[in-house]
Structure 1
Amino acid sequence: MSMGSWAGVREQIEELAKAPGADAVFGSRGHGFVLEEPLGEREVDQLEAQLGVRLPEDYRAFLIEVGGGGAGPGYGLFPVRRAGDRWSWEGDGADLLDPGRLSEPFPVQGPDPALLDALQEECPQEEDFHEEDAFDEARSEWDSRWEALMWSPERTVGALVLSHLGCAYRQWLVVSGPERGRIWSDDRADDRDLEPLLGAGQEPMTFTLWYRKWLADAVRTVEGAR
């Protein structure tokens, strides 16, 4: 992808920020259409050296041409910032990212469906218990088993979380493995599994498609609110 692919995007977002009806865009109260300053190419080189992985080209170019985070899908694009000589992403759920494992291939295959089905069938039902305390204890034990399976750090190696949509719904950018460069949805807070984010034509959503769709939708929302 050419380095000029993001030309004009920062200026477009700055115009959106001033437009009447901008607050009608979902998540805009979180980011306010404010973008972080772009990173220098040398800074991105340092970030990648720390992570031990090269970022997908379109996201890399975005950091350099548009900004290090801010205005974007959901409640905004998690900013990547440097504290001392270390870089990290900041946002609701950014701590789920293990920067030391970004070079490992992202696991496309989740837990064994049969294992998930069996665990779901074992979920305690309140009507099966005579005492509330016994049900609460059984449910707490089951929740621990479910969370250990669904929220294992192994599930998201090779990916970085870039945005949240509220209610602990998040979206990840895969940086290593066969899904590199694609966005995955994370609705595990609602007991749904990680899954690739697809466009209207069932095409995989790259960072570029994901961000530009958000921008186009934001423009339509603002125009419709006038």
Structure 2
Amino acid sequence: MDEQIWTGVRERVLALGLHLEDPLSPEELADLEATIGVRLPEEYRGFLLHVGAGGAGPSYGVFPVRKGEDGTWEWDGDGGDMTLPDRLAEPFDAVGPDPEVLADLEAGHPEEEDFDDIEEYDAAYEAWEERLMSVLWTDERTVGAICLCHLGCAQRQWLVVSGPERGRMWDDARCDHVDLEPLNTGFAEWYLSWLRDARPAPR
């Protein structure tokens, strides 16, 4: 990828009065990639090197990636800990669970008015939620992807770094009982589309 796409982007963001982390040095990026065992998608690599390690961006911003005192790298944000650094080299599962399984689960959602006893409803709901979690919220669903952004109300967005979907952004609305869906855009377009419409920070 032509890294010139990021030329002047950091300056444009800072001119809006928005915060960006310092960019990673080439040595830091090399250490990050050696630690996670995979080369990051080129557009995201360019962002980390020329714009910042995270900060202002779509919705609540791009989760910063930081190296902890123990030498491990992690993404910091509301959902950043959902990223599994030691499994980023594994291919992301773009297929996901069977839609019919999800539809059956949603159809079986317990309704409080169907129960005479609140404790029976609570038990039924907990059992249903456990089944849903085992399908949608298993770690296997997001290996090979980095949770990069929080949209609010537990909705997030991910960047796939391994497998056929490498380099693409995916939307995560599992809080609404639906599976992850592709955004049909790469990291650079995702970020620069936000920047085109970004407004200065309130003074």
* TM-score normalised by the chain length of structure 2: 0.94
SS in 1 for 2:134: helix
**Residue 60 (str. 1) matches residue 73 (str. 2):** no
Number of residue pairs aligned between Structure 1 and Structure 2: 200
Deviates more, 1:134-143 or 1:159-168: 134-143
Structure 1: 5+ residue runs without aligned partners? 18-32, 198-203
**Residue 169 (str. 1) matches residue 155 (str. 2):** yes
Match of 1:16 in 2: 16
Match of 1:211 in 2: 191
Offset from partner CA, 1:43-102 (integer Å, 9 cap, x none): 101100000000000110110111111011111110011123221110000111111110
* CA–CA separation in structure 2 for the residues paired with 1:169 and 1:54: 26
AA at the equivalent of 1:36? E
Match of 1:30 in 2: none
Instruction: Please show how residues 117-128 of structure 1 align to structure 2 within 5 Å.
Output: 117-128=103-114
Match of 1:44 in 2: 29
Superposition CA RMSD, Å: 1.4
Counting aligned pairs with the same residue, the percent is 54
Equivalent position to 1:75, from 44, 57, 60: 60
How far the C-alpha of 1:173 sits from its partner, in A, is 0.2
* CA–CA separation in structure 1 for the residues paired with 2:113 and 2:74: 47
AA at the equivalent of 1:88? E
Match of 1:183 in 2: 169
How far the C-alpha of 1:123 sits from its partner, in A, is 2.0
* 2:102–2:178 CA contact under 8 A, matched in 1: no
* 2:20–2:55 CA contact under 8 A, matched in 1: yes
SS in 2 for 1:145: helix
Question: Relative to 1, partners in 2 of residues 1:126 and 1:86: Cα closer, same or farther, differing over 3 Å?
Answer: closer
Structure 2: 5+ residue runs without aligned partners? none
Match of 2:123 in 1: 137
How far the C-alpha of 1:179 sits from its partner, in A, is 0.6
**Residue 158 (str. 1) matches residue 138 (str. 2):** no
How far the C-alpha of 1:105 sits from its partner, in A, is 0.8
**Residue 102 (str. 1) matches residue 88 (str. 2):** yes
* TM-score normalised by the chain length of structure 1: 0.85
